Amino acid sequence: MNFHAGPLVVVVGPTAAGKTALSVQLAVALDGEIVSADSRQIYRRMEIGTAKATPAERALVPHHLLDVVDPDQVLTLAEYQQMAYAAIADIHARGRLPFLVGGTGQYVRAVIEGWSIPTVAPRPELRGELEAQAAAEGAGVLHSRLAALDPAAAARIDPRNVRRVIRALEVCLVAGRPISELQRKTPPPYRIFQLGVTRPRPELYARIDARVEQMIADGLVAEVQKLAADGYGWDLPAMTGLGYRQIGQYLRGEITLAEAVALIKRQTRRFVQQQYNWFSLNDPAIHWVDPAAVPLAEILETLSGFLRPGVNSGPLPSGADRIPAAPRPGR
């Protein structure tokens, strides 16, 4: 990949904090285009539950890497990374400003840190064996096996994340080398400004609740029903994502709609905790802002300074007095 050492604005933060709205405003003002860094928005036909940018927002600003694959297709992290680099290069080539926007930590880090991602192809038979072992003996057994083969990878992966544990084991067993050895980092030569979007926790949770209610009002149940009717299985990764899994439980008669909605809200809050583990409020590389506390003009002034190397635009106010510290994992 031939990199252009141009600027890249990275907008990160938890679900429902307001990343999309803010990034659209900034891209309009700064002649930018948006590259999505969301592992659920890659799927076609999944609009409501993935909270994609609206048609109006897409009309204002070009968006890249939305609707890349069908719900039964796989897009590997390596494929996403290369597509993101290509999109950023294309935006730079046209003299515009790329914005990498999303809450999928792996996607963002793979791009800005230049991960060397193992290219071991999926082995369905091996995965099936490992999944069967996890089902029979518990996920902890697989994690212990990974810890014996690759302690560094095991230390980074939550034992409950069976899919990631299996992938790490798969790479170790097929390549004959620890996945951590294969995951070297060679950062691309972009000039990067990381902007974090957050809210006080009670406000963020209220926004999550309102978003889930709006998804139901917008037709999430019908969207999931149509996907199932068109043959997309409930066990597909796309169909086990937040919102889709719970509405699937409702459609199969396992829970009521009210229970499904409550589950989506509760599990989205848990997901937010995971996102704050990827994007720490204490990370000095991320300039955190609460959009309700910091005027858009101040954010634009700081970004304008970043785009003029050598110009000191001053620190970016964060509204930090309104933002509680991120909770420690497990709390």
Give pLDDT, residue 256: 98
**pTM to 2 decimal places:** 0.81
Give pLDDT, residue 182: 67
Rg of the chain (C-alpha set): 20
CATH 1.10.20.140 residue ranges for the chain: 124-182
Long-range contact pairs involving 175-181 (C-beta distance under 8 Å, separation at least 24): 175/118, 175/120, 178/149, 178/150, 178/152, 178/153, 179/118, 179/150, 179/153, 180/150, 180/152, 180/153, 180/156
**Cβ-based neighbours of 20, under 8 Å, separated by 6 or more:** 51, 53, 57, 101
Give pLDDT, residue 330: 31
Torsion (CA) 226, 232, 236, 238 in degrees, nearest 10: -40
Give pLDDT, residue 284: 95
Calpha distance 234→257 (Å, rounded): 17
Could you tell me how far CA 106 lies from the centroid of its own chain?
A: 7
> Tens-digit pLDDT profile for the chain (331 aa)?
667 789 999 999 999 999 999 999 999 999 999 999 999 999 999 999 999 999 999 999 999 999 999 999 999 999 999 999 999 999 999 999 999 999 999 999 999 999 998 777 778 889 899 999 989 999 899 899 999 998 988 998 989 889 889 988 988 888 888 877 766 889 999 999 999 999 999 999 999 999 999 999 999 999 999 999 999 999 999 999 999 999 999 999 999 999 999 999 999 999 999 999 999 999 999 999 999 999 999 999 999 999 986 544 444 544 433 333 333 223 2
CATH 3.40.50.300 residue ranges for the chain: 7-116+190-199+280-322
Calpha distance 139→137 (Å, rounded): 7
Give pLDDT, residue 48: 97
Q: What is the CATH number of domain 7-116+190-199+280-322?
A: 3.40.50.300
Give pLDDT, residue 189: 94
CATH 1.10.287.890 residue ranges for the chain: 202-276
Architecture of domain 124-182: Orthogonal Bundle (1.10)
Q: Which CATH class is domain 202-276?
A: mainly alpha
